[in-house]
Amino acid sequence: MQFDAALLKRLERERNIWLATTCADGRPHLVPVWFVYWEAAVYICVEPQSVKARNLARDPRVTLALEDGDRALVLAGKAAPVFVPPQVAANFKSKYNWELGSDVKYTTLLCITLAQRVMG
């Protein structure tokens, strides 16, 4: 999926992205999360027992949206757990001053492969 320079800048700089997953009973679950964008994918960290992690283990489909509703960007994709690529760890450190692997709660890194640009 290709983005113009302005959208790439937003994906690199914006602090949070809204993550929508689907609960077992079909209800949506929507939460803001930290993220990094790297090599055409979005990376997030989750607590393994969190609602979002349980939802994604059952159904990996997600919708993502940047926070600024005046400049909407909504994306759809699929999430899968991955080992930490060194550049992703460096990007989390640069963006949030946060070391992947140092947190005892957020231990599962997910790569969201983007499949569709819904809006923006």
Domain ranges within the chain, ordered by starting residue:
5-119
Number of Cβ within a 10 Å radius of residue 53: 19
Q: Which pLDDT score is estimated for 77?
A: 97
The angle formed by the CA atoms of residues 55, 119 and 56, to the nearest 5 degrees, is 10
Which class is 5-119 in CATH? mainly beta
Contact 117, 75 (CB under 8 A): yes
Place of tokens 């070391």: 99
pLDDT digits (tens, 9 = 90+) for 71-85: 899 999 999 999 999
pTM of this prediction?
0.94
Q: How far apart are the first and last CA of the chain?
A: 13
For residue 101, name the pLDDT band (cuts at 50, 70, 90). Answer: confident
